[in-house]
Amino acid sequence: MSKTFRAWDVDQGWLLPPSVHEFVPAGHLSHFVRDTVREALDLSAILESYSEERGYPPYHPGMMVALLLYGYSRGVYSSRRIAQACEERVDFMAVTGLNKPDFRTISEFRRRHLVSDVLSPRLSTA
């Protein structure tokens, strides 16, 4: 008598691409942080600092704030580790909507908008 296993076909194509929301359960902290930043935080001071239309469009500041706050809530403080998580972890992908900012972008955003300890859990020495 042989054991039967579930199918494991890694080359299987999907008729419709899945939403990242299907991989992260409802009520997960990633959804809470993302939705709180989108609906409840006043980011007008950050949004007003983007006035020029030059170069490649930046990532949405709300997404970047949500990404930093979610990273901090999970104990991920390094820009490199946050960027790596955006590539590898579906909970971070749920926050960013599958955007993958690199570590320099994350670091520059944090440095540019760090007024106090609002975006940084530790004291800034820079």
Q: Tens digit of pLDDT for each residue in 92-112?
A: 999 999 999 999 999 999 999
- How many angstroms separate the CA atoms of 61 and 49, rounded? 10
Query: How is residue 84 written in tokens?
Result: 């790596």
pTM as predicted: 0.81
Q: Tens digit of pLDDT for each residue in 20-76?
A: 888 899 999 999 999 999 999 999 888 888 877 777 889 999 999 999 999 999 999
- How many angstroms separate the CA atoms of 119 and 53, rounded? 25
Is the pLDDT confidence value at 124 over 60? no
pLDDT of residue 122: 54
